[in-house]
Structure 1
Amino acid sequence: MEKQHLTIAGGGSTYTLGLLMSLISEKDNFPLASITFYDTDIERQQKVAEASKVVIKEKYPDLEEFIVTSDKETAYKDKDFIFVQIRTGGLEMRIKDEEIPLSHGIVGQETCGPGGMAYGLRSIKDMIELVEDIRFYSKDAWILNYTNPAAIVAEALKRVFPEDHRLINICDMPISIMNGLATLINRSVWDLDPGYFGLNHFGWFTDIYDTEGHNLTDEIKNKILSEGLQPESEIAEDPSWIATFKQVEQTLRDFPEYIPNTYLQYYLYPKKMVEKENPKYTRASQVIGGRAKEVFEMCERISARQTIADEKLEGDVHGVYMVKIAESFAYNKNEKFIVMTKNNGTIPNIPKEAIIEVPALITSNGVKPIQVGEIGTFYKGLMESQYAYEKLTVDAYFEGSRLKLLQALTLNRTVVNANIANDILNDLLEANKDYWPNFA
């Protein structure tokens, strides 16, 4: 089995250690010759890298080369895979993404609603530049991008790189939900074969089968309604995620046809989502004072002690998911995963150019989406409205149109009020003046 050369763009991310452990857990199926960390934040990356050296020494001694760099050529030249996880503006701008909408009584969330629009508009420029850099040095590398908000990023990248079939956008939420569903029925998540359709952070599980073809959907639905759904793995004890997964029960009671993606709560119950938030201590502040702080403290302990003994450090399900997708690309395994891809008739009664999220076969020749067929009026209406918001946001970026930003926000189900949309937009324009293009 040929060894791969991998770069993690965003090496200073708090998710990098978990991703490294996921790579280690899959090293027999996805063997690596080299791992390269690349980040523009040298100090932050160095903290993660020093701990990673210890992890590699103890858990991956047969890795031939580990490189830490802020040089693009070193990061991207002659690579087979690039995993991309960047956050333009950092967690500090995420605070503003969440606080500004909440100050107007509107959902404040990093990927949904006005906050998602703000984050997306910041991400587009850096993501385009990053892909151009990668393609300059490695024209055939597989780029697996999980930079948020994935829907807006994917829509923008589709326009700039329309023929780049080795540029794949992936979200970890479907596998995180499936992990919770599997636990409900005492199964491994890797034994589940889901039917799914939607847009990113905006979709539904239609059926859940096991690998032997038994339909588990009704059993899972009944379990959700009787016991609720709990997050698993690295988010199992996070109060915010516990509340998010708990909401699935009400959503399923109200709309029992399909099992919802957890993010639908923001669009279907926006008032409730606003009421449970503290505008002065949002999710971003929780992350800064919680997971981010804990990860960097762990990095410091590992670096100081030169061992990972006694540390709770393991691969997470979404990291393993990413690696398994890479395996299927690298070795033509033809395995099925939920990924983002251009519609092109997979769902015939929505726009063919929309970026949808559906199960697909992953091959060395690219993504082969599995036909969904026409969807019902309720889902079609929701998806077309959400896609119009995403499309207008990206239109606005490339055209410099403030009008289209206002149209996008007014369409978004978390807002739907033009006066409020205008007020929020003014605040976001001021907060993002160093990141957004000029909007006329």
Structure 2
Amino acid sequence: MAKGIKIVTIGGGSSYTPELIEGYIKRKDELPIEEIVLVDIEAGQEKLNIVGEMAKRMIKAAGLDWKVTLTLDRFNALKDADFVTTQFRVGLLDARVKDERIPLSHGILGQETNGAGGMLKAMRTIPVIDSIIEDMRQQCPNAWLINFTNPAGMVTEAAINEFGWERTIGLCNVPITHCMDVSEKLNVEQAELNFQFAGINHFHWHRVWDKAGNERTKEVIDLLYKEDEDAPDSALKNIHDAGYNVDQIQDLGLLPCGYHHYYYSEDIMLEHSIEEFKNGETRAQVVKETERSLFELYKNAELDYKPEELTQRGGTYYSDAACEVIASIYNDKRTQMVVSTQNKGAIADLPYNSIIEVSAEITSHGAMPYNWGSFMPAARGMLQLMKGMEETVIRAAVEGNYGAALHAFTINPLVPAGNTAKRVLDELLYAHKEHLPQFAEKIKEIEAKQPEVVEYVDELMKSN
């Protein structure tokens, strides 16, 4: 009898895990799963137990005999894995609160994957991906790493280009949401449309055609962004709808990513975020409450299906996408998906080996990106700036290089360069010192020479 598939999930105690299990169950005829291992850290033990028991109930209700293992022992869990999925948050949601509140206290954007907070999240996460890959080298050298830990593009780039794990594919739910949005606006079934995405994670554009070969991009732009349009222009639950200047979108002739609000409408987005901060309602604080409610639901011994309430979390659909990537690799399905993978010439404006987010065919040997070509100068300039920023963040994270970190803050268009950038960087480094060992010496220097930084952060986080 052929060996069944072993799938290991790092961050198995996540509130998203029921969606992951649901996705596997939907594909039970495509994936001969033998064991699912949910791995977490000691601080996540309670959530792991709750969501793990729910996963077992879901599998039993589906009439399947898959083994579900819950463990804190990552190294041994990885033994002979075929696929490893990553959905963890270094420092848990309290770290996200710091990423948002510290920059916002200085009047600059605090956000999970954009601006100062996003860069610090990458610096905390990339060393952990390195350690996971080191374990995989010993325990499952042929496994695929399916990453949807944010910031997904930078984490995927580090995994492939810094740590050499070429069997890595990054995922994001944003393109899925945009496809659903376009389908609804055109009143056309999604299966009857063709999409092409290109850019980098949380900074991409897309076009759309119908099955007759007619491009519908301009029509969708008019439907979404014309001035008399009352409906929200994005279905993303975690991003404020600041609107766009329709002339700008029409000039480019491409549909923007929801995260482009932070760059095209920075002043409105910042004003909204600061208002949330003042009211104690930053996104991280809201999500903490959402998670509390979800885990209360998950404790119900009768619950054996994914509850509708999970769709209120900003990252819904990530997990189902991960399941489809796994099914497409395992069965060489050649499914068309939007993933983070090596450029390989698909976008002429970026280096050959850089990681891009792009429409691709998912094969048994990985993602084969579809060619996009070049962007118009406006989009090209923005994209190249953002990619340069990402590469600098990765270098800072890998080397513990403070100068590179400060340079990344200077490049990032959501952070004002100069003294404010340095102050916010220093505060974030101090706030996250437990999870930034590569910056240990610099953080000691900050503590010794900048008592005002220590005092400010400690006081600010008391009101967390």
Which structure 2 residues correspond to residues 4-23 of structure 1 after superposition, within 5 A? 4-23=5-24
User: 1:165 matched to which residue of 2?
Assistant: 166
Which structure 2 residues correspond to residues 223-242 of structure 1 after superposition, within 5 A? 223-225=223-225, 226=229, 228-229=231-232, 238=237, 240-241=238-239
**Cα distance change, pair 309–350 in 1 and its aligned pair in 2 (3 A):** closer
User: 1:250 matched to which residue of 2?
Assistant: 244
Q: What's the CA shift string for 1:184-235, capped at 9, x where partnerless? A: 2234444432111111111101x21245544332332232133544665xx7
Q: Kindly state the Cα deviation for residue 308 of structure 1 after the two structures are TM-superposed.
A: 3.5
User: 2:195 matched to which residue of 1?
Assistant: 194
Q: Provide the C-alpha distance between the structure 1 equivalents of 2:293 and 2:327, rounded to a whole number of angstroms.
A: 30
Q: Kindly state the Cα deviation for residue 2 of structure 1 after the two structures are TM-superposed.
A: 7.9
Residue pair 1:21, 1:314 contacting (<8 A) in 2 also: no
Q: Which one-letter code corresponds to 1:398 in the other structure?
A: V
Q: Which one-letter code corresponds to 1:19 in the other structure?
A: L
**Cα distance change, pair 14–307 in 1 and its aligned pair in 2 (3 A):** closer
**Cα distance change, pair 151–318 in 1 and its aligned pair in 2 (3 A):** closer
User: 1:265 matched to which residue of 2?
Assistant: 261
User: 1:297 matched to which residue of 2?
Assistant: 296
Q: Which one-letter code corresponds to 2:343 in the other structure?
A: N
Q: Which one-letter code corresponds to 1:428 in the other structure?
A: L
Q: Provide the C-alpha distance between the structure 2 equivalents of 1:45 and 1:230, rounded to a whole number of angstroms.
A: 36
Give the secondary-structure state (helix, strand or coil) at the position aligned to 1:427. helix
User: 1:82 matched to which residue of 2?
Assistant: 84
1:55 maps to which of 54, 58, 61 = 58
Give the secondary-structure state (helix, strand or coil) at the position aligned to 2:349. coil
RMSD (CA atoms):
2.3
Q: Kindly state the Cα deviation for residue 166 of structure 1 after the two structures are TM-superposed.
A: 1.3
Q: What's the CA shift string for 1:130-181, capped at 9, x where partnerless? A: 122123111111110111111221232233333x331111222111221222
User: 1:129 matched to which residue of 2?
Assistant: 131
Percent of pairs with identical residues:
30
Q: What's the CA shift string for 1:71-105, capped at 9, x where partnerless? A: 23442122221111010000001000000111111
Residue pair 1:335, 1:361 contacting (<8 A) in 2 also: yes
Residue pair 2:127, 2:398 contacting (<8 A) in 1 also: no
Q: What's the CA shift string for 1:90-124, capped at 9, x where partnerless? A: 00010000001111111110100100011111101
User: 2:451 matched to which residue of 1?
Assistant: none
**Cα distance change, pair 174–309 in 1 and its aligned pair in 2 (3 A):** closer
Give the secondary-structure state (helix, strand or coil) at the position aligned to 2:15. coil
Give the secondary-structure state (helix, strand or coil) at the position aligned to 1:250. coil
**Cα distance change, pair 36–409 in 1 and its aligned pair in 2 (3 A):** same
User: 1:424 matched to which residue of 2?
Assistant: 424
Q: Provide the C-alpha distance between the structure 2 equivalents of 1:374 and 1:132, rounded to a whole number of angstroms.
A: 36
Q: Does 1:222 align with 2:222?
A: yes
TM-score, structure 1 as length reference: 0.90
Q: Provide the C-alpha distance between the structure 2 equivalents of 1:141 and 1:111, rounded to a whole number of angstroms.
A: 27
**Cα distance change, pair 307–381 in 1 and its aligned pair in 2 (3 A):** closer
The worse-fitting range, judged by mean Cα deviation, of 129-138 and 395-404 is: 395-404
In structure 2, stretches of 5+ residues that fail to align are 443-464
Give the secondary-structure state (helix, strand or coil) at the position aligned to 1:56. helix
Give the secondary-structure state (helix, strand or coil) at the position aligned to 2:31. coil
Q: Kindly state the Cα deviation for residue 327 of structure 1 after the two structures are TM-superposed.
A: 1.3
In structure 1, stretches of 5+ residues that fail to align are none
**Cα distance change, pair 271–310 in 1 and its aligned pair in 2 (3 A):** closer
User: 2:390 matched to which residue of 1?
Assistant: 390
Q: Provide the C-alpha distance between the structure 2 equivalents of 1:48 and 1:17, rounded to a whole number of angstroms.
A: 7
**Cα distance change, pair 95–46 in 1 and its aligned pair in 2 (3 A):** same
Give the secondary-structure state (helix, strand or coil) at the position aligned to 2:285. helix
User: 1:97 matched to which residue of 2?
Assistant: 99
Q: What's the CA shift string for 1:32-60, capped at 9, x where partnerless? A: 2222211112222001112222211112x
Aligned length: 424
Give the secondary-structure state (helix, strand or coil) at the position aligned to 2:97. helix
The worse-fitting range, judged by mean Cα deviation, of 383-392 and 214-223 is: 214-223
User: 1:67 matched to which residue of 2?
Assistant: 69
Which structure 2 residues correspond to residues 271-310 of structure 1 after superposition, within 5 A? 271-277=267-273, 278-279=276-277, 280-290=280-290, 292-301=291-300, 303=301, 306-308=302-304
Residue pair 1:18, 1:313 contacting (<8 A) in 2 also: no
**Cα distance change, pair 213–227 in 1 and its aligned pair in 2 (3 A):** farther
Give the secondary-structure state (helix, strand or coil) at the position aligned to 1:109. coil
Give the secondary-structure state (helix, strand or coil) at the position aligned to 1:434. helix
**Cα distance change, pair 188–18 in 1 and its aligned pair in 2 (3 A):** farther
Q: Kindly state the Cα deviation for residue 64 of structure 1 after the two structures are TM-superposed.
A: 3.0
